[in-house]
Amino acid sequence: MPPRTTPTQRQRRLGAEVKKLRTEAGLSSEYVAGLLGVDRGKISNIETGIRNISPDRLRTLATHCECADDRYLEALVDMAQPAKPRWWDEYRGRLSPGLLDIVELEWHATRIQTIQTVHVPGLLQTEDYARSVFTAVLPALSRLEVELRVAHRMDRQRVLDRDDPVAYVGYVHEAALRMLFGGREATRGQLNALIEWSERANVVVRVVPVELGSFPGAGHALLYAEGPVPQLDTAQLDSAHSPEFMHAELQLSKYRAHLEWMDQMSLPAEASRDFIHAVIRDL
């Protein structure tokens, strides 16, 4: 298989895990190349996600690295399976790779947690609300580009609607509930939709009231995707140019602490629904 020019975040992550296996075992690239029967350059390409590693070669490497964590290894083997066509492939070449990486991250997560302080979570947005968010982008997007992003955002909701829907927890600051994206009617429709989402078995919405004051990570949106094992968790933050994906253990520990604070301090689910109803009445 020829090398890729633009590996996805998931492919880069697998490569990073392969490199971690090798370096923690103290094995050189030359040794692993000989072990797997490939040239040294291919090892570098595998570790950067440019080339894939077959499940059999991955198991061979894990054995020689004395990897004793079977669940972790099986999760890596699953990542190494040949890619199947996915619904988001229709957007490839039409939207930025970073937006598609977010979709793939969500799709393979075992649980998603988000923190939003300015607008409601993207996965729970209505068309009118999302359209208002994308219309405010600078430099301005064309009408067709706005509609493409709206369609993509609506399609992302499949992860919550599929036969095995992902578990989702969204922490939303009161300020985000009161922002009038699209005007009062669009905001009212969005908040009613948020309540409907929160009544699903796999979706929890919890509000962070203004009266709580300061909180960790204030001003930053966070998407935390749990993997099949904790070592494969990923934190994603937005930036001005493209999404940032983090998976170093120190980084993950920091964002887990943020989420633990939110779990302890935000309103319970039922009280959050009551709070959102109150905001709707104020509109």
Q: Show the domains of the chain with their CATH numbers.
A: 9-80 (1.10.260.40), 92-282 (3.30.870)
- In angstroms, how far apart are the furthest CA atoms of the chain? 68
pTM of structure: 0.94
Residue 3 is predicted with a pLDDT of 56
Contact 45, 2 (CB under 8 A): no
Residue 2 is predicted with a pLDDT of 53
Residue 68 is predicted with a pLDDT of 92
Residue 11 is predicted with a pLDDT of 96
* Nearest CA among 182, 173, 131 for reference residue 152: 131
CA distance 165 to 184: 31
φ and ψ at 118, to 5 degrees?
-115, -40
- What single string gives the DSSP state of each residue in 238-267? --SSS-EEE--HHHHHHHHHHHHHHHHHSP
* 101 Cβ neighbours under 8 A, 6+ residues apart: 8, 9, 10, 243, 245
Q: What is the DSSP letter of 54?
A: -
Find the helix or strand (DSSP H, E) in which 206 lies.
strand 203-208
Residue 4 is predicted with a pLDDT of 58
Q: Give the residue ranges of the chain where pLDDT is below 70.
A: 1-4
> Please, where are the H alpha helices in the chain?
9-24, 29-36, 40-47, 55-64, 70-80, 97-108, 127-135, 143-156, 158-161, 174-178, 184-198, 249-265, 269-282
